[in-house]
Amino acid sequence: MIFFVRTAPFLILLLACLGAAEDIQRFPPPDFESGYVMPATTTPQPRAGWLNYLDLAVLFTALSLASYLVIYKRNRPGIFALTIFSLLYFGFYREGCVCSIGAIQNVAYSLFHANSAIPFVVIAFFLLPLIFALYSGRVFCAGVCPLGAIQDVVLIKPIRIPRWLLQSLGLIPYLYLGLAVLFAAQGSSFIICEYDPFVSFFRLSGRLNIIIVGFSLLAIGVFVGRPYCLFLCPYGAILRLLSRLSLWQVTVSPDECRQCQLCEEACPFGAIYPPTPEETQPIRKNRKQLAMMLVLLPILVALGSWSFSLLAPTFSRTHPAVRLAEDISLEDSTHSETYSDASQAFRDLGQSKEVLFNQARNLRNRFSWGAWILGGFFGFAVAFKLIGLSLPQQRMDYEIDNADCVACGRCFSYCPVELKRRREKKSSRSAPKDQTIQEQ
Amino acid sequence: MNKNAKEVSRRSLLAEGIRSFSLLCVGGFAGGMMGRSQSQRYCWQIDPHKCVMCGICATHCVLEESAVKCVQAYAMCGYCKLCTGFFDPSPQALNTGAENQLCPTGAIVRTFIEDPYYEYKIDENLCTGCGKCVKWCKAFGNGSFYLQVRHDRCLNCNECSIAIACPSEAFQRVPYDEPYLLKGTTSKG
């Protein structure tokens, strides 16, 4: 018996070699006498198409509601409720996919791959929050983004971060954005999705190292306001730029500021700046600094380009084709007996090595261009930050910086002027009774 | 005061201009992208005739547990007592002992039907999509085990990370309405 078992595969192999052909049934299915019914192969269908449009409708409604709550109602509990809803819907129900942050890569990929098919919903997820940012600031961050939401929920005891640290770590998102666009455009990987720290919580499964990163970010997030949003989020980097232009700016209170400093203390993101002291710095000194930064701009761009071009070979290895080509040429040159899995599969298929090596060469070329551009972009981002810091600022009151503000609405209830305004509004409302009913 | 007001208005005018310009850019960009977006919807699937069972499906999916699973084409299965997809190449005995099984997670359920036939069913919760059983079933049996993207799990990424890594170009886009390339029903081979 054992002998038969041991040799059977080889006998079968012999038989197979005799009559080898694809899909020929070597062992025809039997005629069952026991009345056994053959099951059919199950084919679970993909998510129904109209549900994607439901996602889109929810996104649009949530963005509109967030704008209404932040700009018009100035209602923190409302914003928080919306945050929880988004966490449940876009986070736990949709498992963090489709998301606006990741959509950057889909858009970049399809821009550089003419024959790729990008779904309409993904484009809309990428663009809608940007359009809203042009009107009402970062309301997407405030109440719609599930990654922001999960961090907002754990933010219990915010401490104040030194401004220099906020400013310098705030440069990382630009680098992350650049890298994500580079890798997506070359088709090597979607790093924003791969290293998304919170998506494993939404899906209740994930790689151990990512889960550890996620937990540590949440642990830091108890004290530091939204560490992912502030120091990593690449979509936030785009939203920052656009929200500077927003039509309706978030204000602590529409009434006159009493300069009590309470709001500045209350903001966990360091987005509220104190009034500038009058004429402490001579204008001339400021101008000199600005001129120096402008001279520094091309130097930083060149430095960035050069230093990143050194990394181009490393970047190119993120692409499987480049890796495979390197594996194969290494194996060939060392006459290796054992092959890597991908190389084995490639050899089994008998595909042309020349084509692969050509493809790898092209990719390396494209990566070296990409690394130059990425380095230049990052140098530009650094220089832009420095120029922004040396521009003369004039603030009469405590003011919200629209780029830094994630529109969470925490400051509203800290402002005594705002509280007074609310009281007055309430009392003026409660006077005519039927109007109150209408309002509610 | 007057001067200040003027400056503010100049500033807001500039902001208005930049905003309109960016809106125009975003709009133009949207228009351009919409041209790219396709009305025909696609999803990813493996052509079982091109698959080389390299095992990349198990490791390269963006999901921790791959959306690719092994499926059984019952109409093609020989219901063998000695299933080369189920048993280790040199099993100790022809029973369901773990030491005799080829599947690293024990995801294949072997049920007795009638002498000498057994049914082999995939427990999808355990299957990792490594393709070991597929390889051996194809080598010595009918090839009724094969890998498919399961669409209750697949996120249908714009660019599938398994497709990028797939050495045999077995990953391809198929119409959304017919998301499976089933063996035994289509006569491709």
Contact A9 B93 (CB under 8 A): no
pLDDT band at B6 (very low <50, low <70, confident <90, very high): low
Closest CA to A236 of A403, A410, A400, A60: A403
List of chain B residues whose C-beta atoms are within 8 Å of the C-beta of residue A39: 74, 121
Mean pLDDT of chain B: 83
CA distance A368 to chain B (A): 20
What's chain A's Rg over C-alpha atoms? 29
Cβ-nearest to A119 among B41, B62, B189: B41
The region of weakest confidence among A71-80, A130-139, A317-326, B164-173 is: B164-173
The region of weakest confidence among A44-48, A137-141, A216-220, A269-273 is: A44-48
Sequence-ordered list of residues with C-beta below 8 angstroms from that of B164, at least 6 positions apart, any chain: A187, A188, A189, A319, A320, B60
pLDDT score for A19: 40
ipTM of the complex: 0.76
* More confident of the two residues A407 and A14: A407
d(CA A141, CA A407): 7
pLDDT band at A8 (very low <50, low <70, confident <90, very high): low
List of chain B residues whose C-beta atoms are within 8 Å of the C-beta of residue A324: 167
Write down the pTM of the prediction.
Answer: 0.84
pLDDT band at B47 (very low <50, low <70, confident <90, very high): very high
The region of weakest confidence among A18-27, A216-225, A308-317, B115-124 is: A18-27
Helical H runs in chain B?
2-36, 56-60, 132-140, 161-165
d(CA B17, CA B28): 16
> Within an 8 Å CB–CB cutoff, is residue A34 touching chain B?
yes
pLDDT in tens, A374-384: 999 999 999 99
pLDDT score for A4: 46
Residue A3 has pLDDT above 50, yes or no: no
pLDDT score for B127: 93
pLDDT score for B141: 87
Structure tokens at A372: 């130059």
pLDDT in tens, A208-253: 889 999 999 999 999 998 999 999 999 999 999 888 888 888 888 8
* More confident of the two residues A62 and A29: A62
pLDDT score for B36: 67
pLDDT score for A24: 60
pLDDT band at B134 (very low <50, low <70, confident <90, very high): very high
**B 90-149: CB under 8 A from A:** 90-91, 93-94, 113-114, 117, 119, 121, 139-143
Mean pLDDT of chain A: 85
> Within an 8 Å CB–CB cutoff, is residue A194 touching chain B?
yes
CA distance A186 to chain B (A): 11
Contact A118, B34 (CB under 8 A): no
List of chain A residues whose C-beta atoms are within 8 Å of the C-beta of residue B155: 95, 97
User: DSSP letter at B20?
Assistant: H
Closest CA to B123 of A34, A38, A42: A42
Cα dist. B155→A4, A102, A347, B14 in Å? 46, 13, 31, 43
Residue B178 has pLDDT above 90, yes or no: no
pLDDT band at A364 (very low <50, low <70, confident <90, very high): very high
Contact B140 A9 (CB under 8 A): yes
Contact B147, B13 (CB under 8 A): no
pLDDT score for A434: 53
Residue B12 has pLDDT above 90, yes or no: no
**A 96-125: CB under 8 A from B:** 97, 105-107, 109-110, 113, 116-120, 122-123
pLDDT in tens, B55-107: 889 988 888 889 999 999 988 888 988 899 999 888 888 888 888 899 999 99
d(CA A265, CA A222): 17
pLDDT in tens, A173-208: 999 999 999 999 998 888 898 889 998 899 888 888
> Within an 8 Å CB–CB cutoff, is residue A396 touching chain B?
no
Rounded percentage of chain A residues whose pLDDT exceeds 90: 41
